Amino acid sequence: MSVLPFDQRDGFIWFDGDFVAWKDAKLHVLSHGLHYASCVFEGERAYGGRIFKSREHSERFRASAELLDFSIPYSAADLDAIKAEVVARNNFSNCYVRPVAWRGSEMMAVAAQHAKIHVAIAAWDWPSMFDIATKMRGIKLDVAEYRRPDPATAPCRSKAAGLYMICTISKHRAERRGYADAMMLDWRGRVAECTGANIFFVSGGALHTPIADCFLDGITRRTVIDLARRRGIEVVERRIMPEELEGFEECFICGTGAEVTPVAEIGPYRFLPGALSRAMIDDYAAEVQPQQKAA
C-alpha cells in the first residue's frame, strides 16, 4: 500500500513561533539533534478537536528536555495553546499531535551548550489502529532481543528520540517474523514494556503491570490505572518475570497510538482477551471522547 511521505503532505506546521507550509518545515543536515540525538518529542491525540490530557503532555515535554540538559522556550500553557491552534489550523477533529524539540546547528560536537533550541508541532489524521472486533481478537507480540537500559546508563524518564533506536530495531524484527510488535525486557530480564506502549496482565480479577522505573510511565498507562481503580479493580505495580506470563489470563497494551489493545500471544504464551480488557477499552474510549463524556 502506498503511503504519502510525511515531508510531502499538505497543511501547516508550527515551527519556532510561526506557522509554515507543511513542505517548508525543514532543518539543516548538521543539526545537533540529528547527529547526537539531543531531541525530545511527545505523542498526543485529539478527539473531537480536543487534545486528551494536553497539559500533562506539555509538562512531560518540558521535563524531557530538562533531562537532556536543555530548556524548551515555551511554557506548558503556551504549548497547550499552540497545539490547539495546530489542530484547528489543519481542520482536524480526530488526529495525532507531535511536538518535537531539538538542538540546532550552531555547534557540531558532543557538547552543544550554545545551540539554539528549535520547537515544532505537527498534526495529522490518524484513526484508531484497530476496530473493536479486531482488537478483541488480540494482537501477537514477539519478545525483543534488545532490553530497556539500566536507568543509571540513560535518561529513561525522558521521552527522548535516542531511546527509541532499539524500539525501531525490535519492531522491525517482530514485523518480519509476523508479529504486530515486541515486548521488551529490562536490563535484568524482567518484563518492561512494548516498543511504544505499556503492558498490563490480568490474574484473578486484578491488573498487574511492571514498575515504570527504567521506561516511560506513560500518560495512557496512568489513565488506565485510574480507570481500573474507579471500577474497584485492584492494580498491582510490581516486578514481573517472563516465566510468570504462563499464569496470566488476559493481557493488553496501552499508549497514545495503541489506545487499549488486547494481546492474544507473546512468544510461546497465549491469552484470551476477555471482560476486563473489554471494560478498559470501553472506559478509555469514554474518557477520551468529549461527546461520550458529556453523555
Query: How confident is the model over 38-62, as a mean pLDDT?
Result: 97
Domain 132-294 has CATH 3.40.50.970: no
Q: Residues of CATH 3.30.470.10 domain(s) within the chain?
A: 12-125
Q: What is the pLDDT of residue 250?
A: 98
Q: Under CATH, what is the fold of the domain 12-125?
A: D-amino Acid Aminotransferase; Chain A, domain 1 (3.30.470)
pLDDT band at 126, cuts 50/70/90?
Answer: confident
Q: Residues of CATH 3.20.10.10 domain(s) within the chain?
A: 132-294
- 76-89 helix and 54-67 helix, angle to the nearest 10 degrees: 120
List pLDDT tens digits, range 178-206.
999 999 999 999 999 999 999 999 999 99
What b/e sequence results for 58-79 when a residue is b if at least 16 CB atoms lie within 10 Å of its CB, and e otherwise? bbbbbebbeebebebebebeeb
Cβ atoms of 129 and 259 within 8 Å: the answer is yes
Residue 203: which of 271, 151, 122 has the closest Cα?
A: 271
Cβ atoms of 195 and 182 within 8 Å: the answer is yes
- Residue 159 appears among annotated catalytic residues: yes
- 219-230 helix and 54-67 helix, angle to the nearest 10 degrees: 140
List pLDDT tens digits, range 206-246.
999 999 999 999 999 999 999 999 999 999 999 999 999 99
Q: What is the pLDDT of residue 295?
A: 34
Q: What is the pLDDT of residue 127?
A: 74
pLDDT at 2 over 70: no
Report the predicted TM-score, pTM, of the whole model to 2 decimal places. Answer: 0.94
List pLDDT tens digits, range 240-259.
999 999 999 999 999 999 99
Q: Which position among 83, 159, 171, 293 bears the catalytic label?
A: 159
Question: β-strand 18-21 against 12-15: which pairing, if any?
Answer: antiparallel
CA gap 231, 198 in Å, rounded: 20
Percent of the chain whose predicted confidence (pLDDT) is above 70: 96
